[in-house]
A and B are shown apart, each in its own frame.
Chain A
């Protein structure tokens, strides 16, 4: 390609970058519509201006490697900034966002596409560059180059004015929530709030540790509820089954007198005496949906079983003696011909969104599934979530509190049920029984009243991970296979 054509294309690209996003932002959105950039918008705008300026360097001095290298670095940083900015709002509901929308997308989203377009444009111009283009004296500016430079200076001058009014002179800097732009100095806000002390983190509120039943205190006397009555253990024994991994949950099917046990990746249907495995499989947790570690198990009726990962991803299986082992290779790691996989997807919560779960319960009366959140270092809530079995979509959520007539008392003003670490749950007769590995506490929850109506200490449990109702008793199992049978409270 001829050099003058290449420089014309570059001048046009610089002009477009200067006028369309940056010039429109300062003169139309800013001076006319009163829009003020937030601190992140300011830096994204600065990066666009810097890329345009480096294009002007190329127009003046030729495509020296340092200009091209720096423009790619600024473009890459711009993509990072736009991603960081867009991520704050990307998961909101349709049409929601920060500040104004242009052609169906908010401004920070456009930044992402603009930086991508910049990188692509620089790449294309580099492809068209010859080796001898990298040498040479400063170029004499053509009229188009001069126009581009003057337009750039004008747009930059506009930004200087807006930046002075909106952010102030050094050391003041941009704000997270800027007030609308005005030329009236009485309404200018210059702030140092961005310098205020705050923890430095890579992932912020998303840095959430995986739940660990071993990390909590089992001392039932140290829990948030005072003067809890203790439930006596009728029988305690250790089950000895050849399981792959430790036990993560337990469920019971009264119609067929059989239990369901999950391990980290295993699904086991066990006879009513918990002595013999009737069928099992080990699910491949990495196929398609990341199932994580199983933490919940439930019989769904009709023979179907559901295993829920701590990340609220699930798999639903149906026992089938004629399952196609070859077709099941993708789903299972062993025992390929004992189940059919019906579905594998994810449950979505709202109040429990940033929390893991370690329990699953099925209520046949309401045809609903329940999960209970476990607290983490960022979020401490005890959220009970109900999902409709038919579409496995959230139907209701509530944050558990004691019923007013329950007689439950907290051990201190700052104590709450949010401290509990529910690792197993089961539903019977409209009540949920939830076992907390923290403080070995059994909660009785009235699902109609959405409140805890009773709580008991069960002192002899060791890392309980599952609970099921059978014949008027609660079967509570620990991760190492210790089964404790206690009467229903």
Chain B
């Protein structure tokens, strides 16, 4: 899934360079990538969502 995420990021950056008029699409790709990153990290740390230290 990290592969997919970097493809989304690459596509957004390419739009900035080549098709700046597609700002909405580029920003949506960034939002999608952000959500995917949050979901993936949460999956990986679901057994202890907060930092595992003495509170």
Contacts and interface: CB of A to CB of B under 8 A. Distances in A.
Contacts of B25: none
B13 to A, nearest CB: 5
A482 interface: no
A204 B49 CA distance: 8
A88 interface: yes
Nearest to A139: B20
Given A195-B43, A203-B50, A149 B17 contact: yes
A57 B26 CA distance: 9
Interface in A152-191: 152-153, 156-157, 159-160, 163-164, 166-174, 176
B1 A87 contact: no
The DSSP consensus for interface residues of chain A is helix
A157 B10 contact: yes
A167 B48 contact: no
Interface string B25-51: 011001101100110110111111111
B20 A160 contact: no
A204 B6 contact: no
Nearest to A167: B2
Q: How large is the interface on A (under 10, 10 to 19, 20 to 34, 35 or more residues)?
A: 35 or more
Contacts of B54: 206
Given A43-B44, A87-B51, A152-B13, A164 B3 contact: yes
A227 interface: no
Contacts of A374: none
Contact of A47 (B37, B43, B48, B52): B37
Contacts of A174: 1-2, 40, 44
Given A46-B37, A61-B23, A56 B16 contact: yes
A200 B4 CA distance: 25
A49 B48 contact: no
A87 B16 contact: no
Contacts of A255: none
A127 interface: no
Given A153-B10, A200-B49, A202-B48, A167 B38 contact: no
Nearest to A49: B9
A194 B41 CA distance: 10
B52 A204 contact: yes
Given A87-B52, A205-B52, A206-B55, A172 B17 contact: no
Interface stretch (A77-85, A273-281, A417-425, A473-481): A77-85
Interface residues of B, number: 40
A163 B16 contact: no
A204 B40 CA distance: 18
Contact of A172 (B1, B9, B21, B55): B1
B47 A169 contact: no
Contacts of A54: 30
B16 to A, nearest CB: 5
Nearest to B11: A156
A92 to B, nearest CB: 12
Contacts of B55: 203, 206
Contacts of B50: 84, 202-203
Nearest to A80: B51
A210 to B, nearest CB: 13
A164 B37 CA distance: 16
Nearest to A149: B17
B47 A204 contact: yes
Contact of B20 (A60, A171, A176): A60
A70 B38 CA distance: 13
Given A206-B52, A206-B55, A39 B10 contact: no
Given A57-B26, A200-B47, 6 more contacts: A53-B12, A60-B20, A156-B13, A167-B1, A198-B46, A206-B53
Interface of B: 1-7, 9-10, 12-14, 16-17, 20-21, 23, 26-27, 30-31, 33-34, 37-38, 40-41, 43-55
19 contacts: A42-B2, A50-B9, A53-B30, A60-B16, A61-B20, A67-B27, A84-B49, A84-B51, A138-B21, A141-B17, A146-B17, A149-B16, A153-B14, A156-B9, A163-B6, A173-B40, A200-B46, A202-B50, A203-B48
